[in-house]
Amino acid sequence: MKKWWIILGIACIGIILWQSISLYNKILLNRDAEQERAVQAAQNDYHLKVHQMDYYHGNQALNVLSGTSGKYGKVYALVNNKGKTKLVKQSEGLTKQQMKKYVDKNLKPKEWVNLRLGMENNQVVWEAVYLDDNGRYTFYYGDFQTGERYKKYSIKQEI
């Protein structure tokens, strides 16, 4: 009888593992397909040659494409999951390095986690994520053009 419980336990673990891998693969395929749709939408709308792609998780999920367009030059294209695109010229705002310097100078982060471009309520923002002096994860949203605070919040890290 004990042997049957062991066999049943191994079978259950095998089924759970199999389903977890299957779910993970479905999620990755879905993400890859969404990224392809975003690139296609940006190429169709702006003839964009994509150099880099990032993902933004704000009040709406966005694919953020960096590239060049013959008509607009160096640009960022922000594409939502419905294929709606917003184009922003890189020259109209702060670069990633300029935003990092702005945050370093004004907010003095203890440790950087991430810095990415995104959009909140149809306003293009830089999302700076860092650890502050109190060990809190701080999310600073700075205006794309000036770096000035759009919103900021902190989350205490509990271990």
Q: Provide block-wise average pLDDT over 10 residues at a time, the chain (159 residues).
A: 86 90 78 81 87 90 92 93 90 95 94 95 94 92 94 81
pLDDT for 51: 93
Beta sheet of 136-143, edge-to-edge order: 111-120, 123-131, 136-143, 149-156
pLDDT for 9: 87
pLDDT for 29: 67
pLDDT for 81: 84
Q: How many CB atoms lie within 10 A of CB 59?
A: 9
Cβ atoms of 118 and 128 within 8 Å: the answer is no
Place of tokens 């935003």: 99
